Amino acid sequence: MDNDFYPPRKFGLLFQGGLVLLLLAAGAYFFYRATQDPSGVNFLLDMLIALVLFAPLPLLGYRLYALVNALYILRREGLMIRWGLRREDIPLSSIEWMRPAAEVGFRLPLPWLRWPGAILGRRMVSELGPVEFIGSDIKHLILVATPGRVFALSPENAKAFMATYRQVNELGSLVPLTAQSVYPRVFIGRVWEDRLSRIFIIGSFLIGLILLAAVAIAIPSLGEIAWVEPGSTAPGERLLLLPILNGLIWLINLGAGTFLYRRGGNLRIAAYLLWGTSALTGMLLLVGSILLIF
- pLDDT tier at 224, thresholds 50, 70, 90: confident
Query: What's the one-letter identity of residue 188?
Result: I
Alpha carbon distance 58, 164 (integer Å): 36
Whether 244 and 47 have beta carbons less than 8 Å apart is answered as: yes
> Residue ranges per domain, the chain?
1-178, 183-294
More confident residue, 144 or 267: 144
Which of these, 153, 156, 158, 129, lies nearest to 143 by C-alpha position? Answer: 153
> Between residues 170 and 24, which one has the greater pLDDT?
24
SS3 280: helix
Q: What is the pLDDT of residue 2?
A: 64
Average pLDDT score over residue span 96-124: 90
Distances in whole angstroms, Cα of residue 115 to Cα of each of 12, 56, 82, 141: 8, 13, 19, 14
- The Cβ of residue 246 has, within 10 Å, a number of other Cβ atoms equal to 24
What three-state secondary structure class fits 116? coil
Mean pLDDT of the chain: 87
| Cβ contact 71:4 at 8 Å | yes
**Secondary structure letter of residue 224 according to DSSP:** E
Per-residue pLDDT tens over the stretch 38-73: 666 777 788 889 889 998 998 899 999 999 999 999
Question: Among 112, 159, 115, which Cα is nearest to 135's?
Answer: 115
Q: State yes or no: pLDDT of 170 exceeds 80.
A: yes
Q: Residue 143: pLDDT above 90?
A: yes
pTM over 0.85: no
CA-based torsion, 151, 154, 155, 158: positive or negative: positive
pLDDT digits (tens, 9 = 90+) for 26-46: 999 998 888 776 666 777 788
Beta strands, E only, 97-215: 97-100, 119-125, 129-135, 142-145, 150-153, 180-182
Element containing residue 197 per DSSP (H, E): helix 195-218
CB 92 within 8 A of CB 173: yes
Give 281 or 106, the one with higher predicted confidence.
Answer: 281
Q: Are 239 and 215 in contact (CB under 8 A)?
A: yes
CA distance 265 to 47: 39
- What value does the mean pLDDT take over residues 108-121? 92
φ/ψ of 221, rounded to 5, equals -95, 0
Q: How far apart are CA 24 and CA 153, in angstroms?
A: 31
- Contact call for residues 208 and 251 (beta carbons, < 8 A): no
